[in-house]
Each structure stands twice: as C-alpha cells, then as structure tokens.
Amino acid sequence: MALSESQIPPDAQHYLVCGTEDCKKNCQFYCNDCHHPMCEQCRDEHQKNRKTMNHELVLYKQRKRQLPMQKCKIHPTKDIDLLCEECQIPLCSKCATTKEHRGHVFTDLEMVFAEKCSSCNAEITKIRSYFEPTSQNLKQEIARDVTEIKKIMEGIRKSVKAESEALKNLVDTVTSDKMEQVDKIEQSLLETLNGQNQEIYDYIIYLTDLVRTFYGYLSPSNIEQVTFAFKSENLIIRPIPETSKPVPPIFTAGQYSKENVAKLLGKITIPKFKPENRKIKPMETVSIQLKSTGKQRKQDREKSDVKQTLSLSSSFTKVREYTVPGVRDVYHISLGKSGRLWGSDGSGNLVQTDLQGNQLQKIQTSGRDEGYHTVTQDGDLIYTDKYNKVIYRITPDNTITQFIKTEHWRPLSIYSSHINGDLLVGMRKDKEGKVTRYNKTGTEIQNIQRDNKGQGLYDLPHYITENVNGDVCVSDYRKHAVVVVDKSGKHRFSYTVQGSIFYPYGICTDVLGHILVCDTYMLSGKVNLLDQDGQFLSLLHASQQGNTIPRSVCADDENNLWVGHGGTNTVTVFKYVQ
C-alpha cells in the first residue's frame, strides 16, 4: 500500500510501493483518473488497457490530490462532487438538477480541490522559500546585534573603569604631594622647637651652676672671697632666653560633591537617533510567481509544461564519453559555459578541458576526494584550499584572487547556487562539520551546523549541492548518509541505505528535483536516485568496463547525467530523463 504524503516521516528511508494488488515494486507514477500509484510496468499495462488508455498518468510528485469522499446529506446515495459557482457551495449531481440551482454554472469539485491544493502548495513554497528563511535571517541578525551590543557595553565598562583609575591615580598623586608638604612643614617647626628646647636646657644648666657658686659665697674661706662675691658684676643673673610659640599650618577642606566628580569623568549618552528598521528583502522569486505579468505567467506555464513532459526513462542510456587529460581519475566535475568542464582527481590536479578532450588549463591544488570546485553563473571558477583555509576565484580572463578566508575551518566542498548565486561551503574542524552560506560578494550570511536537538548534522561534508526547492544536500562519507536541510537550515531528512553500508561520494540534483548520489561501497558502480523528499526511486548502473567506479555526478541543462569515474580519466554522459 502506498503511503500518503502526510504519513511519510521526515527521515523516511522506504520507497513508495506500487498500489496494484500483489505488486511490491517501486512506485514512480500516478494515475490522476484512478488516483492509483503504480510502478513503471503497471503504468505501461494501464496505458495498454482500452478502458484506461486515455487516463492521465504523471510522475508521483506531480499527482493531483484525491478529493475526500463525502455523501450528500439530501441525497445519501450520491457523492458530493460539484461546486455551484453562483452559490459557492459543494453539492451532488442530483442537487444540481433542482430548482434552486437551475441555470447555475457548476465546476468539477475535484478540479477546485486540485486548484486549492496547488494554492496551498504555493503558499507553503512561499513560506519555506521566503518567510521562514527571511525570519531566520532576521533572528540571526538579532543574535549578531546582541553579541555586538554586549561587546560595545563591555568596551564602555572598560573605558569607565580606566578613566576612574586614571582619576584615582591623579588623586593619589595630589595626595602624595600634599603629604610631602605636611612633612616638610612639620620638619621645619620641629627643628625650631628643638633649637628652643636646647637653648632652655643650656640656660637651666647655667642656673644650676650659678646657684652652686652663690652657695660658695655664703661660706667663704677667706676675706678675698667675700670681697669678690659682693662685686656687683658677680651678682647679675643672665635673663631667660626668649622663645616663641610655633604657628602650625591650617588644613582647609576642599569643596567638592558627587556631581563635581562626575563632571571630571566622561559621560554615557544614548544618541537621539530614531532606531533604523531592519531591512527585509523583497520576496523576489516568490513574489514573481504570485504577481507575475501575463507574459511571465505564459513563460512560467511553458517551463512548467516542459517539466510536466519530463519523466524518468525506462532505460539508462550512454550518450557520449569524454577524456579529461592531466588527471588519473575524475573525482569531481564542474560544468562551465561553452561546453567546457573542470575535472579533478585524488592528487590535487584540477584541469579544464573542452569537449574534444583538449586541455585548456591545469591547476595544482590541495584537493583530494572532495567536491572542492564549482563554476558560478558568471563563468568564474571557485575552488577551496583546505590546508591554507582559503577559497580562490578564477575569472574567465584567468585572474586568480583570494576570495574568502575561512579562519579556523577547513573548506572541503563548495557549490555555486543556480537559484541566487550564493556559495555553499562544506567545512570541517575538530572532527565536526558545518555548511556556511556566502553571498556573491563573499559575505558570510548563514551557518548550518546542528539540528533542532542540538546534535551535529555533519561529520565530513565532502560533496555538496542545492536542489530546485532550495534544499541543501550534503554527501557525508563519515556519517554514511546524504544529509538534507531546507534553505533556512532546518533538518529535513538523512538518507542511508538500509541493510548495507553506504559510502556516498559525488552528489547532484536535476530539474525534476531528483537527488543523485554515487555509492562507492564494495565498488558497486551504482548511482542512487532519490526524489526530493528522500524516497528511493532506483539504482542507475553507471560503472564502465574494467576496475572503474562512479565517483562524481553532474546534471546538465539538457537533462543528461555526467558521471566521472575512479580508475580512469573518462567522463560518461547518460540519458535517464525523457
């Protein structure tokens, strides 16, 4: 029994099964008339059957949604399958014949339902491709602003502390000068007082000696001593030495306040500017789809018609083969303009060749078994240098410039978006991987590293591509998985091979949204073909004669699959879409 889309879990690995009884083959197609999923063989039988040969058979992803079955309340034996355009109410075929609806126009309700489903899908696409990623970008911008504000405020704190310390040091210097002044005044006053003290001390000794002399006069031993004692000059006492009281200095306290001190320090002010609104990018491609001109709608219909006519071919046919001189293997392919291609091997040789096998350029790089080069919409070659942690750009006039520095992360894989020209880069550091998105100017705009549970999404993201719906698809050799996230970085699913070890290498997508990835386990020589929701569709046998194995894949504008091989320097082109 085929699973409905709502029943398919995000990380589903089982492929859809044909709805024909007793048929368990892979479901690729859908009958819009029978609302029946079927495999390729059952589709062929369906087309051969006279009763169903005119039914509309499409790829499963292009199916019309089946209208829910509901019985009419007025006519319980009839199904509600019409919409009255006048009354805008659903009804059954018998209700349409009643007097209330006489002369009204009716539309097949299933067609209306299909249109509504299409509108819902358009709204989902709009949300997934614009509103969600734009909101995520605003969220990241706010987070960057938080970091920047914290950085600025920490700088202001340091400035305030530094200025305060400078003022404290100045206060300490002035205080030290004043203390030195006090010490000098004290020393001067003490020296004066010590001099006075010594003078009085000497005078007291003089008085003591004088008293002793006078006592001697009171008990003379002869008449001469009496005569000498009563001489007038011998009775004169020297006056007491004059001394003066010291005049100490007076300390006058300074006049200051908190406001005075605040004026000495710098001010913190908030600029009187009106906050600038964050820029929200216009809806661009989404709005073009919703509000396009008549001419544009016609072009969109033509493109849609082309896509509607494409389907997986029943065979995998070799169309042509090219040789890439100057390399031993072809581990990665980048298709450029004018039919030129770049191919690289496991020894760092990166060679540009034309379709006649003529070598046009050769560059020695640090690349090995990674998808480390890509060609932009402008025809520039972008390649990574994982050892120097640099991304280089080569313009069509062969000017080489250092385009982006990835700091501490080693850039392994790279892809130039066909949707908007962004660069998607798979990187690794300390046994952990991430995907970084840069715009055309080399400005980092997004980092994808963990899922919503905080678990690391990648280990070794050595090949990377982008799907038509904006999904980022990564071939991770160490995780044995293809890891797919949407444009906003939300994890959608991880594809692994159940019951077997999976060693994914080169990866690409096509115009139908298929994901194609090389599996190198046990030299299987096969390319896994998935739909854009991770459902396995089929294996493409792309190995060549001899000891070769598909290592790289690339889809061109003509819906051909280019396959590069290990063990030979050939690139084989296959037709798998018709």
Percent of the chain with pLDDT over 90: 42
Q: What is the pLDDT of residue 33?
A: 84
Give the domains, in start order, of the chain with CATH numbers. Answer: 5-112 (3.30.160.60), 118-264 (no CATH), 312-577 (2.120.10.30)
Q: What is the pLDDT of residue 304?
A: 46
Cα separation, 322 vs 573, in Å, equals 8
Cα separation, 406 vs 243, in Å, equals 87
Cα separation, 432 vs 434, in Å, equals 7
By the 8 A CB rule, do 38 and 18 touch? yes
Handedness of CA 406, 409, 410, 414 (dihedral sign): negative
Tell me the pLDDT band of 231, cut-offs 50, 70 and 90.
low
Tell me the pLDDT band of 533, cut-offs 50, 70 and 90.
very high
- DSSP helix/strand/coil, 258: helix
Say which amino acid occupies 408: H
The strand pair at 332-335 and 461-466 is best described as unpaired
Percent of the chain with pLDDT over 70: 87
Across the chain, mean pLDDT equals 85
- DSSP helix/strand/coil, 232: helix
Tell me the pLDDT band of 302, cut-offs 50, 70 and 90.
very low
Q: Which residue, among 166, 174, 172, 156, has the nearest Cα to 264 in the 3D structure?
A: 166
Q: What is the pLDDT of residues 139-167, one digit of tens each?
A: 998 998 899 899 889 988 998 898 899 88
Q: Which residue, among 8, 53, 5, has the nearest Cα to 33 in the 3D structure?
A: 53
State residue 342 phi and psi, 5-degree precision.
-110, 135
Rg (CA), the chain: 47
| Range in 4-8, 498-502, 568-572 the model is least confident about | 4-8
Rama region for 348: left / alpha / beta (φ>0; ψ in -120 to 50; rest) = left
Cα separation, 103 vs 96, in Å, equals 9
- DSSP helix/strand/coil, 523: helix
Distance between start and end Cα atoms, the chain: 27
Q: What is the pLDDT of residue 312?
A: 60
Tell me the pLDDT band of 374, cut-offs 50, 70 and 90.
very high
Q: Please determine, for residue 190, whether its predicted confidence score (pLDDT) is greater than 90.
A: yes
Q: What is the pLDDT of residue 146?
A: 92
| Over residues 403-427, mean pLDDT | 94
Rama region for 110: left / alpha / beta (φ>0; ψ in -120 to 50; rest) = alpha
Cα separation, 15 vs 8, in Å, equals 10
Please report, for residues 367, 463, 494, 550, 560, the alpha-carbon distance to residue 344 in angstroms, rounded to integers and kept in the order given. Answer: 8, 13, 27, 14, 20
Cα separation, 366 vs 383, in Å, equals 10
Tell me the pLDDT band of 225, cut-offs 50, 70 and 90.
low
* Higher pLDDT pick, 462 / 40: 462
Q: What is the pLDDT of residue 393?
A: 94
Residue 232, burial from CB neighbour count under 10 angstroms (0-12, 13-18, 19+): exposed
At 48, list the tokens.
């051969």
Q: What is the pLDDT of residue 315?
A: 59
Q: What is the pLDDT of residues 41-77, one digit of tens each?
A: 899 889 888 888 888 888 887 777 778 889 999 999 9
Q: What is the pLDDT of residues 409-420, one digit of tens each?
A: 999 999 999 988
Q: For 61, how many CA atoms within 13 A lie in the half-sphere containing its CB? A: 17
Q: Which residue, among 5, 109, 12, has the nearest Cα to 62 in the 3D structure?
A: 5
Q: What is the pLDDT of residues 306-353, one digit of tens each?
A: 444 455 655 578 888 889 999 999 999 999 877 789 999 999 999 999
Q: What is the pLDDT of residues 81-131, one digit of tens each?
A: 898 988 999 999 899 889 888 889 888 888 888 788 878 878 888 888 888
Q: What DSSP designation does 430 have?
A: T
Q: Please determine, for residue 453, whether its predicted confidence score (pLDDT) is greater than 50.
A: yes
Cα separation, 568 vs 343, in Å, equals 12
Q: Which residue, among 409, 331, 404, 342, has the nearest Cα to 370 in the 3D structure?
A: 331
| Over residues 213-220, mean pLDDT | 76
Q: What is the pLDDT of residue 482?
A: 96
Tell me the pLDDT band of 292, cut-offs 50, 70 and 90.
very low
Q: Is the pTM of this model over 0.75?
A: no
